[in-house]
Chain A
């Protein structure tokens, strides 16, 4: 009796109204009520997956209505990781808010830092030194590889092969070590600053990145060899979760999921930022729009990232400032802070008030994060805090698309499709 009371969906214990609305919404998703009289075996059922399911990559909850093994319709319930960081942003200075962006898409913290800093630099008219922008590019591409590696490991694990998870994590470990040397943190780096970056590359870090760039393509080739013609892997992914380009645009997919349908929309070429317009790289696309196409897109993107990093090292100025030398726009260097009164005052002022964009200004800046377009829309009221800061996160767009992609798929493919879409709940739930 006690047990029945707990699992009953009619009388949930907590958030009663929420549960009722969710189940009701599943019932009238397509507005037509089908009465299936030819169902003597009672194959229709409602399946609730998550939020604690390990294959949903976080706290995603999927509510599916099944007909046998086919998903007739599904609903996604998000918000289990909602922390209200847009509200927090309104009560912090721009620089203070930057560490919070690490916790959004926690698989590629560097890209998030850069996205926020560049949005603030655009609204406050700050130009960053050349060396800093190359450092940002190198680290962003490393973050892309790191994020795609985690996607590769977990997606193949969802498809049934466990060893790739260990192999990709061995490579991720190297990137963590690089970030440890570059930023002083392995995971939540917080390395970028408004007006530049915190510190320059150490010789050890440069050496480590060069070593990684040299060795990683071999590793990637090995994975291509074992996966591209692997019968089980291809059968498991080919034609699964397919979507055509018109539908993909309509439901607003982002990043590699969109490019896998044939739309070459990549901010790095669409509206080049930093020095991406000087780089020679291609945007990998596929036209099939299924899970296998997404796999190829991401794998090729990793190879392109390596090419970009190599070119960055060639074009990067050997010496130079890494942060803008203007106390009203950026933190002074630590040498100034420790050895001059001026520097200490400026450091204090930056921490207390920070950058103040002009009152009434509102602007948008987006970068190509590993999962798609990551943009910040900032409205300023002239103080050091944003009046409104809206995060345009790629996982949110992709999860919205997932609801459509899952319709009509087999229930056994759910985990592979979620893995292929690569959502991160910290990014989506804000």
Chain B
């Protein structure tokens, strides 16, 4: 990975964000930025239009299991021109798990946001089609939250009766 390009990209981002860039971690192979929630949409647009991060690879949700800012959502972006990967992280509060959608910037965010919604219950404002992606709509829990039991919740889904002679 070209560190000069990476540094100049990080420089551009920090100039654009100023105080809203809360944390920069370069310990791992790829830069991981934490930004403030209310600048998320502008930052994503800036990253795509100015810094050429045109390929949204995935959106990762995680449960930090702390009292405030319980969830985090990480956007994994690739710039094919500069051969760079970047991870942008925002914290989401448990009381109001709501984020602006980025489907209008990257179309591929659609299913990825639906997956985060399905697994953690984080809602995306203005999403064109916010339904659960893996589990049926009738399921009322969010399975990747830490309090969800590993064995599941008995009776949470109505299943066909498999005994041969029921009514």
Residue numbers of A with Cβ under 8 A of B are 13-18, 20-22, 25, 29, 31, 78-79, 82, 84, 86-88, 91, 122-123, 249-252, 263, 265, 270-271, 361-365, 373, 375, 377, 379, 387-388, 390, 392, 396-397, 399-401, 404, 429-430
Contacts and interface: CB of A to CB of B under 8 A. Distances in A.
B108 A362 contact: no
B136 A430 contact: no
B60 A390 contact: yes
Given A15-B136, A396-B111, A263 B80 contact: yes
Given A249-B54, A373-B57, A392-B58, A364 B76 contact: yes
A189 B55 CA distance: 33
Contacts of B133: 78-79
A364 B87 contact: yes
Contacts of A91: 150
A249 B138 CA distance: 33
Contacts of A25: 129, 131
Contacts of A390: 58, 60-62
Contact of A400 (B27, B111, B138): B111
Contacts of B134: 78-79, 82, 429-430
A52 B89 CA distance: 39
Query: Which residue of B1, B111, B131 has the most chain A CB atoms within 10 A of its CB atom?
Result: B111
Contacts of A365: 29
B93 interface: no
A18 B76 contact: no
B106 A250 contact: yes
Query: Which residue of B57, B83, B106 has the most chain A CB atoms within 10 A of its CB atom?
Result: B57
A29 B110 CA distance: 12
B100 to A, nearest CB: 19
Interface string B28-55: 1110100000000000000000000011
Contacts of B148: 87
B58 to A, nearest CB: 5
Given A361-B27, A362-B32, A388-B63, A251 B58 contact: no
A337 B8 CA distance: 51
Nearest to A75: B129
B24 interface: no
A14 B135 CA distance: 13
A397 B150 contact: no
Contact of A252 (B83, B108, B159): B108
17 contacts: A15-B136, A15-B138, A15-B158, A18-B138, A79-B136, A86-B119, A91-B150, A122-B28, A271-B85, A364-B29, A364-B87, A365-B29, A375-B57, A390-B60, A392-B57, A396-B111, A397-B57
Nearest to B159: A14
Given A271-B83, A361-B27, 14 more contacts: A14-B159, A15-B136, A20-B137, A21-B131, A29-B129, A79-B132, A79-B136, A250-B54, A271-B1, A364-B30, A364-B85, A364-B87, A377-B60, A392-B76
B143 interface: yes
A183 to B, nearest CB: 29
Nearest to A246: B54
Given A122-B29, A361-B27, A364-B30, A17 B108 contact: no
Given A15-B136, A252-B106, A377 B74 contact: yes
Contacts of A392: 57-58, 76
Contacts of A29: 129
A17 B138 contact: yes
B122 interface: no
Query: Which residue of B80, B108, B119, B131 has the most chain A CB atoms within 10 A of its CB atom?
Result: B108
B160 interface: yes
B81 to A, nearest CB: 11
Interface string B12-26: 000000000000000
Contacts of A88: 150
**Top 5 A-B pairs ranked by shortest CB distance?**
A252-B108, A79-B134, A18-B136, A82-B134, A18-B137
Nearest to A358: B27
A10 B66 CA distance: 43
